[in-house]
Amino acid sequence: MKQQAKAQVKAQNKPLGHTEGRGRQIEVIGQVISDKMEKTISVQMFRLVRHKKYGKYMRRSSVFKAHDENSTAKMGDIVRIVHTRPLSKTKRWKLAEVVQKAQATDDIKAEEAQ
């Protein structure tokens, strides 16, 4: 009885912003630049970096390999990926959701259908 009461008190005294499970996950939003691999996509992310000496902001990019189990993301889509355990030599991310579908591929498919 006392153990259950202590457990309830501990559960209520969580720090502000605490999330259950593994804590806050690292998320990145980027554009799919390649979907030619099986169950893998390449996602390019851009960031602004300030030059140390001159103070000008430069646009830098990073490319991440992400796991796409059902091959839902296509080239040009805007996607959200989440950091996960290592899945292969270079794959450390998995697809969370497709934020926006690429419009160019939709237009081409519509033209082919007509």
pLDDT value at residue 24: 83
Q: What pLDDT was estimated at residue 76?
A: 95
In a domain, 35, yes or no: yes
pLDDT in tens, 31-50: 999 999 999 999 999 999 99
Domain that holds residue 79: 22-113
User: What is the model's pLDDT at position 29?
Assistant: 96
Instruction: State residue 92's pLDDT score.
Output: 96
4 within some domain: no
DSSP-based helix, strand, coil % in the chain, nearest 5: 20, 45, 40
Residue 12, domain member (yes or no) = no
Asked whether 43 and 77 are in contact (CB, 8 A), the reply is no
Asked whether residue 73 is assigned to any structural domain, the reply reads yes
Residues of the chain under the 70 pLDDT cut: 1-22, 104-114
CA dist 40 to 2, 45, 49, 74, 87, Å?
A: 51, 16, 28, 11, 11
> For residue 81, is it within any domain?
yes
Give the total number of structural domains in the chain: 1
- CATH number for the domain including 32? 2.40.50.140
Instruction: Judge whether 2 lies within some domain.
Output: no
CA distance 107 to 4: 60
Q: Distance of alpha carbon 5 from its chain centroid, rounded?
A: 40
